[in-house]
Structure 1
């Protein structure tokens, strides 16, 4: 397997292809990442999404088809009110968890931001591909959906270039392309142990070409006075979601669906999250709790093997 590492989207990226694909296919994938990051990021002063945010409360901003369609999808999902919220930007910027200046904000500042994170205040115009944030101070944040969207775009690019087999690894988002080189064509993917460094697994999933997306509280967090504040926020309280989960992994066909449903499932916790995922066609999940329990939906229960004796399946 030909493999190259890059940096983008705030993380280490690994792209891999099997011959006859070449490093040119890897580099083409990375160029696509850079282009998408340029227009979608909210971590730089200038991007298409930041143009929308800067104009909040003042005017609608016309954007490219790529940006518009992703925002439209993010707004649609936000309006399900299951936990995902693309209008969460003001809270993310207030807490700054995972970035310089991370802090525990004053409760009154959090309450002010709660007035600015209603996704129904995002107005879309399909004819002009324009986006209007109706209140000054609002900010769209596509961080919970952009990686999946980009991973799917890389796969489409590779398929168009004739790549038959490969792995897109965007750090938390793994997208498998084609068959593996193993005799049965299946892939073996390690599921991250939340308490260990990256690429140390608690179990292994054997799967055909799928998207495997993991979201957890173990990579971006802030510790103050012994209390751990992670980066996944509750839109009702303005504080990090409070439950017993360390991570949720979603197995799906599209990586964008993995992004969406890891957020929804994490917010819903195991009790509501397991039946919610079981109801979604083509989705499966692995829930990992803080007290070393692992819950697996029915579609992949026989495909997952626990490899860390500290954990047990419930």
Structure 2
């Protein structure tokens, strides 16, 4: 395969295609990433999403079709109230976990921010394509959904350009295109070991072309007085979600679903998470706990092989 690495979306991006595709197809994918990051990021002062955030409590802001569609999807999912919340921005900016200035905020500050993270306070106008955050200080954050959206867009672009086989790796989001070079056309993809450096697997998934998205608490966290605070927040408390999970991997047809359901499943923990994912058509999940246990949905029983003997299946 022809492979190139880029930097974007706060991580190392690896794009790969099989011939007759060329490096030009990889560069086209990277240009698309840069364009989407420019309009969707909240980690720079200027973007379409930041224009919405800056106008919170003042007026609606008209945005492009791409931004509007993604915000609309994010708001709809947030209203399920299963854990995913696109209005979480004020909490993310308060804690700053994974960024310069990361800190443990005062409880009073956290309680104040809880007043600003209700997705029902985001008003959308389909006719005008505007987004209005009704309270000053509100902020949309698309960090839990944008990578999947962008990965799917690259796949669509590549298919339109005639790419027959490839791998989109956005760091946590892997999206497979077409068949692999193996005789059966299936791919063998490593599932990240949460306690080891990136690309160190705890097991191998054998799969047709699917999306494999992993979310976990092992890359962005803050340690204060021996206590580990990760970046996945509970909208009810304003603090990191409290459970025994280290990571959740979702296997799905499209990457945006992987983004959404890793968050939902992580919030639900194993006991509620496995039944929840089992009910979703076309989704499967792998749960990894802090005490080295691995659980999975029924659709992966014959497709996932545990390779790290520190872990055991439950």
The normalised TM-score by structure 1 is 1.00
Q: Aligned partners of 1:149, 1:135: CA distance in 2, in Å?
A: 27
Quote the residue 1:103 is aligned against: 103
Q: Aligned partners of 2:242, 2:6: CA distance in 1, in Å?
A: 34
Q: Aligned partners of 2:200, 2:132: CA distance in 1, in Å?
A: 43
Quote the residue 1:298 is aligned against: 298
Local SS of the residue matching 2:301: helix
Q: Deviations over 1:158-186 (max 9, x none)?
A: 00000000000000000000000000000
The normalised TM-score by structure 2 is 1.00
Q: Deviations over 1:115-166 (max 9, x none)?
A: 0000000000000100000000000000000000000000000000000000
Local SS of the residue matching 1:15: strand
Q: Aligned partners of 1:296, 1:76: CA distance in 2, in Å?
A: 27
Q: Deviations over 1:26-84 (max 9, x none)?
A: 00000000000000000000000000000000000000000000000000000000000
Local SS of the residue matching 1:38: helix
Give the superposition deviation at 1:300: 1.1
What runs of 5+ residues in structure 1 fail to find an aligned partner?
none
1:217-256 matches, cutoff 5 A? 217-256=217-256
Q: Aligned partners of 2:245, 2:61: CA distance in 1, in Å?
A: 38
Quote the residue 2:63 is aligned against: 63
Local SS of the residue matching 1:67: helix
1:260-299 matches, cutoff 5 A? 260-299=260-299
Quote the residue 1:89 is aligned against: 89
Local SS of the residue matching 2:103: coil
Q: Aligned partners of 1:65, 1:301: CA distance in 2, in Å?
A: 40
What runs of 5+ residues in structure 2 fail to find an aligned partner?
none
Verify: 1:157 aligned to 2:161, yes or no. no
Q: How many corresponding residue pairs?
A: 314
Local SS of the residue matching 1:112: helix
Q: Aligned partners of 1:144, 1:301: CA distance in 2, in Å?
A: 27
Quote the residue 1:44 is aligned against: 44
Local SS of the residue matching 1:302: coil
Quote the residue 1:144 is aligned against: 144
Give the superposition deviation at 1:8: 0.2
Q: Aligned partners of 2:219, 2:290: CA distance in 1, in Å?
A: 14
Local SS of the residue matching 2:13: strand
Quote the residue 1:186 is aligned against: 186
Verify: 1:132 aligned to 2:132, yes or no. yes
Moved over 2 A (4+): none
Q: Aligned partners of 1:133, 1:206: CA distance in 2, in Å?
A: 43
